[in-house]
A and B are shown apart, each in its own frame.
Chain A
């Protein structure tokens, strides 16, 4: 119907509100960026310096972040935890999703439903008992506690996503291969998985961003600064008493956000289509 509308009307009803939405949604990131490069005397003197300009951009905040804190440790930890937990979860999820949708064992439907329900169990009711389990396994204050517990929310999500993908691949392809004498494992490795690569990419990005985002487990199961992840480290280690070093805090937030933002921007179409696909399922 858009072609029936006049330009001035469109400006007011579409472009104006849309611009306001975009400005509001992006502003906190812009603000992180501005604060990161601003020297303290400009930051804390609003009467003499406009908050929107940086007269003398500085790298001091970033310097402090990289060399006076454990920030690089946190980045490395978050990277290791996210990658390992993601691969572990995708491995388990692909096998489970294949068994549920293709091998159709007895009770497969029930298992599918249970996995969906598992996705609805929030970490904020699991973290207390999980903390006691982590302590008993001797994993407290190690990043392995996170690698092993993140699959609790990654596996249900990835399995659900992969089930949708497997269902979209015609079963006839596999039947032909079965008749030709291929084993189930050969079929999975040579036929189904190559066709499911878009699904695997989506599962990877989702699982990676979810792990990078995770907060409550990382806050509860790890206590030493050098074992923390970026979100927890920035929040708990960079705030010293009543003095907030806003420049470094915002630098930490900005650089902690970049890896997921960059990864997301490469696969944005994948991301959006599987996000909406998963909801429509």
Chain B
């Protein structure tokens, strides 16, 4: 009887297809391109960067391991500490402003009005357009001699002398923060708008019937329900502002006299034009602890389901 059961002949092509249907084989093959590229150009350089921070590598020659020498010299480097101060100041002020204005804009956009879709599309433009190119527009707007802002203020009789936006350290910092906020508002506004639209209008109606004022409705309905999405957007915003390079490089290149360097621009300055790759890598590596802290904070924050559901912390 056994002879009746012939093994089914399998063509070689079909054998490969069968083999490909094995979940683990297929998963491995599918993960290969992404994993290969990321390991080669992300994980490996990340490790290499930390290693370079412990060497005296220069452009054009291999370096030797020098332990913490880069970090020791950075600890006594005033420009480095100024860049750390600038990075925190820039991140703090820009983030607060972006969120305050972005939330306001989101609330405005959440009203019913004509041309709603068009207005929303226009709002996102600063976020779409290459940062460096809009930074150039700001550079021109901040020009010492032909600034349109100075021109308008002078015509209005508010100033008598053109403002030197980028020539004075404190002015230059403020100018950079304004440009960063301008670029960041759309992202915050559109994301928070999406959050606002998930809030049911009946909640507001119920609150209004109970006699809640505008502020009370915002405080007790909008704010808690918006919290989860706010937390995510905040994390992204802080990470990207903290590691920003483009705006500063395009507008001030760290000047006047190093006063607007962020850690990222200083790392570039020392490593590429300066040729000291090891020192630049050490500055870049010094940014990692902050990034890890910010990410972990938001990650664990989001894990707390209760908070996500809009209730207060215990």
Whether A230 lies near B130 (C-beta < 8 A) is yes
Range, interface on chain B: 35 or more
Is the Cβ of A133 less than 8 Å from the Cβ of B291? Answer: no
Number of A residues near B (Cβ < 8 Å) is: 97
The one of B26, B109, B140 in contact with A31, judged by C-beta atoms closer than 8 angstroms, is B140
Q: Does B153 contact A (CB under 8 A)?
A: no
CB distance from A177 to the nearest CB of B (A): 12
A200 CB–B CB distance under 8 Å = no
Report which of B46, B124, B229 forms a contact with A279, defined as CB distance below 8 A: B229
Are A120 and B31 in contact (CB-based, < 8 A)? no
Q: For A24, what are the chain B residues with a Cβ–Cβ distance below 8 Å?
A: 182
Question: Which residues 253-269 of B sit at the A interface, judged by CB distance below 8 A?
Answer: 264, 267-268
With CB as the reference atom, state the residue of chain A lying closest to B263: A124
Convert A76-97 into 0s and 1s, putting 1 for each residue whose CB lies closer than 8 angstroms to a CB of B: 0000000000001001110110
> CB within 8 A of A151: which of B41, B48, B193?
B41
Tell me, rounded to whole Å, the shortest Cβ–Cβ distance linking B134 to chain A: 6
Bound complex: CA A40 to CA B284 (Å): 42
Is A25 within 8 A of B194, CB to CB? Answer: no
B146→A44 contact, CB < 8 A:
yes
Cβ–Cβ < 8 Å partners of A88 in chain B: 37
A-B contact count (CB 8 A): 283
What residues of A have a CB within 8 angstroms of the CB of B240 in the complex?
Answer: 122
User: Chain B residues with Cβ under 8 A from A128's Cβ?
Assistant: 49, 52, 267, 271-272, 277, 280-281, 284
B295: chain A residues at CB < 8 Å are 117, 120
A115-126 CB mask vs B (1 if < 8 Å, else 0) is 101101111111
Give the residues in chain B near A256, CB-CB below 8 Å. Answer: 130, 133
* Interface of B, helix, strand, loop or mixed by DSSP: helix
Q: Which residues of A contact B42 (CB under 8 A)?
A: 118, 121, 126, 152
Q: Which one of B70-78, B91-99, B169-177, B243-251 contacts A? A: B243-251
Tell me if A260 and B33 are in contact (CB < 8 A): no
Indicate which residue in A1, A35, A271, A276 contacts B204 across the interface (CB closer than 8 Å).
A1
Cα A4 to Cα B243 in complex, Å, equals 45
Q: Take A216-B246, A260-B129, A261-B129 as given contacts and tell me if A129 and B46 are in contact as well, using a CB distance cutoff of 8 Å.
A: yes
Q: Is the interface of A mostly helix, strand, loop or mixed?
A: helix
Least Cβ distance of B122 to chain A in Å? 6
Given A99-B27, A128-B271, A130-B41; A25-B126 close (CB under 8 Å): yes
The complex places the Cα of A128 from the Cα of B41 at a distance, in Å, of: 12
Given A105-B28, A250-B137; 19 other pairs, CB 8 A cutoff: A1-B208, A14-B108, A18-B108, A21-B101, A25-B182, A29-B129, A31-B140, A32-B137, A35-B140, A95-B34, A105-B27, A123-B245, A124-B245, A125-B291, A128-B271, A185-B17, A253-B134, A257-B133, A272-B124
Which 3 A-B pairs give the minimum distances between C-beta atoms? A276-B194, A105-B27, A122-B243
Q: Jot down 21 A-B pairs with beta carbons below 8 A, ordered by A.
A: A10-B111, A31-B140, A32-B137, A43-B146, A95-B31, A117-B295, A122-B240, A124-B287, A126-B49, A129-B44, A148-B41, A151-B41, A234-B133, A252-B133, A257-B130, A269-B117, A272-B121, A279-B194, A279-B229, A279-B232, A280-B194
